[in-house]
Amino acid sequence: MSRPDRATPDEKQGAALSAAVRRAELTLEQLWTRYFALGGDADLMDVDAHLAGLVPLPSGQRDILALAVNERLDEVIAAHRVPYSRTVRQTRPTTGPLAALVELLMSAGFAPPERLASIALRAGQALGAELSVHLIDHEQRGLVHLPPDGRPANPPQGLDGTLAGRAFRTLRILSSDRGPRHRLYVPLVDGADRLGVVEARLTEPADLHDPVLREQLTWIASMLGHLIASMGDYGDQLERPRRNRPLTASAELIWQQLPPLTAATDSFVLAGMLEPSYDVGGDAFDYALSEGTVSLAIFDAMGHGISAALMAAAALAGYRSARRDERGVSDQSRAIDDVISRTFPGSAFVTGVLAELDVTTGRLRYVNAGHPPPLLLRDGKVVKELTGGNRVPFGLDPEGPTPAEEKLEPGDWLALYSDGVVEARDAAGHWFGEELLMHFLTREMAASQPPAETVRRLTQAVLGHQGGLLQDDATILLATWRRKEPGPA
């Protein structure tokens, strides 16, 4: 046996751990439960043997054990603190929704993206729930499990036929009382952008229908959504599991340029999608929401592959530069013309639609540069194509016509799309076509589907029409406006 002054660091940690377990007033079963909840994978007998000095554990597992004990010691110390003469605010809560939110905020600050699932697991403990994160895959067909450290990923879940998928599609909390642990499935969103589902496994059956717990889990899911959106920018581990195959270079470029697929304010909701998602080249869309104005744009660059993607990215850059300089659609058109003609000399061009809506009056101003005309939907049906404001594609002529105007009414929908949507052909050579597009949109509006779910279903329908393999990019951007009600004086 080693003398204390000659003990190795591992032996010193083991001795300290055994002593701390006694001070923490933890039974072996309580210690193992905490250890397992933090991601430990040794069984109860191995932990018992390790505490007795009989079986070594890997350094990572010893650290998880140490964390489990230290968390309990913090609780014990807090319970024995001397009271002050007045109420003193807690420096950090240990239970309840605030503790869960603090865990997410404080732990995620310097954590790599792949640690987020483990952070969510610890945050859920403050609510008495075991949380699992499921992210929507790249083509929005299924949910992939983001496993905590040291645990294998569960199989993907489809959006149809599963409670998790239904929670994602409907943005509603759904419950399940099957199996040994009751579950709640909570939509995982960043603002209005659907990112996946949080699965909460509950300890007490009564929690399944607790409205307060449901509201608290919504807070946690919202914070997780913000963290996923922000942490994904400085690592690949949140994006990689969502891909079922590699993106082409052109698709990688385009997807990096796009805004979130869904956005909303109290007066406007919009959603977009591109297909084929792994091989898109020249299509793109953009938008900007503000208190008084909504700007929309859709582009389709000539050609395919990386050259078309570069042209579409240039069009986006020219459009954003002019829009952020508070220039209207006419000047935005000229800015796109300039960047395309200067960067891609010759006969290169980009088709597109630029639109700007005054959300206080409903006045829409738009320009159409050789693109399919937008559709206006009202009272559950397509009422007209917006055929005004026509000009040649961007890059061919800097002199365009005066923008057209249209008066929208509260509840109206706008559908902007590329020709790949209507030109998808089935095995018999039949087009998807404008008529089928209008029928689809009318049906989805009648079913009260929101823009994000309508876009997802439409892109799947277009893919299905052409056997899952599109010959051209297909892009859809749906938007709906409602007049904002005046607030209290």
pLDDT above 80 for 408:
yes
Question: What is the distance between the alpha carbons of residues 350 and 478, in angstroms, rounded to a whole number?
Answer: 21
146 vs 113, 352, 462, CA distance in Å?
Answer: 11, 38, 29
255, with CB counted inside 10 A (0-12, 13-18, 19+), is middle
Question: What is the distance between the alpha carbons of residues 396 and 442, in angstroms, rounded to a whole number?
Answer: 36
| DSSP calls for 56-100 | ---HHHHHHHHHHHHHHHHHHHHHTPPPPSS----SS--SHHHHH
Residue 91 belongs to a domain: no
Residue 240 belongs to a domain: no
248 vs 245, 276, 278, CA distance in Å?
Answer: 10, 11, 6
| Same domain, residue pair 177 and 303 | no
| Same domain, residue pair 318 and 255 | yes
Mean predicted confidence (pLDDT) in 151-162: 92
Choosing from 13, 48, 79, the residue where a domain stops is 79
Residue 88 belongs to a domain: no
Helix or strand or coil: residue 322?
helix
Residues 6+ apart with CB under 8 A from 79: none
Q: In which domain, by residue range, is 431 found?
A: 246-481
Q: Poorest-confidence range of 85-89, 181-185, 242-246, 451-455?
A: 85-89
Q: How confident is the model at residue 94 (pLDDT cuts 50, 70, 90)?
A: confident
| Same domain, residue pair 394 and 283 | yes
Residue 18 belongs to a domain: yes
| Same domain, residue pair 195 and 291 | no
Whole-number pLDDT of residue 90: 66
Whole-number pLDDT of residue 478: 95
Q: How confident is the model at residue 85 (pLDDT cuts 50, 70, 90)?
A: low
* pTM (predicted TM-score): 0.78
| Same domain, residue pair 50 and 107 | no
| Same domain, residue pair 268 and 224 | no
pLDDT above 60 for 264:
yes
Residue 241 belongs to a domain: no
**What is the CATH classification number for the domain harbouring 102?**
3.30.450.40
Tell which phi-psi region holds residue 368, choosing left (phi > 0), alpha (psi between -120 and 50) or beta: beta
What is the tens place of the pLDDT at every residue in 432-487? Answer: 888 899 999 999 888 888 899 999 999 999 888 888 777 778 999 999 987 665 54
Q: Structural domain tally of the chain?
A: 3
Q: How confident is the model at residue 220 (pLDDT cuts 50, 70, 90)?
A: very high
Whole-number pLDDT of residue 7: 59
Residue 87 belongs to a domain: no
Give the strand pairing for 350-358 and 129-136.
unpaired
148 vs 143, 186, 216, 362, CA distance in Å?
Answer: 16, 18, 22, 48
What is the tens place of the pLDDT at every residue in 266-317? Answer: 889 999 999 988 998 899 999 999 988 999 999 999 988 899 999 999 999 9
Whole-number pLDDT of residue 4: 47
Whole-number pLDDT of residue 402: 81
462 vs 132, 250, 272, 297, 440, CA distance in Å?
Answer: 32, 21, 14, 21, 10
Higher pLDDT, 39 or 319: 319
Which residue, among 374, 377, 372, 352, has the nearest Cα to 440 in the 3D structure? 377
Q: Poorest-confidence range of 62-71, 150-159, 379-388?
A: 62-71
| Same domain, residue pair 197 and 317 | no
Mean predicted confidence (pLDDT) in 133-139: 95
Q: What percent of the chain has pLDDT over 90?
A: 56
Mean predicted confidence (pLDDT) in 203-209: 87
Average model confidence (pLDDT) across the chain: 89
Q: How confident is the model at residue 1 (pLDDT cuts 50, 70, 90)?
A: very low
Mean predicted confidence (pLDDT) in 374-403: 89
Peptide bond into 260 cis (omega under 30): no
Residues 6+ apart with CB under 8 A from 471: 420, 424, 425
What is the tens place of the pLDDT at every residue in 17-60? Answer: 888 888 888 888 888 888 888 888 889 888 888 888 888 888 88
Whole-number pLDDT of residue 489: 40
Choosing from 234, 264, 290, the residue where a domain stops is 234
Choosing from 79, 105, 122, the residue where a domain stops is 79
Whole-number pLDDT of residue 40: 84
For residues 336 and 394, the answer to whether their CB atoms sit within 8 Å is yes
Mean predicted confidence (pLDDT) in 153-167: 93
Whole-number pLDDT of residue 463: 86
| Same domain, residue pair 118 and 66 | no
Residue 486 belongs to a domain: no
pLDDT above 50 for 430:
yes
**Partners of 479 in the β-ladder:** 270, 414
Residue 487 belongs to a domain: no
**What is the CATH classification number for the domain harbouring 320?**
3.60.40.10
| Same domain, residue pair 250 and 230 | no
pLDDT above 90 for 93:
no
What is the tens place of the pLDDT at every residue in 226-247? Answer: 999 999 888 899 999 999 999 9
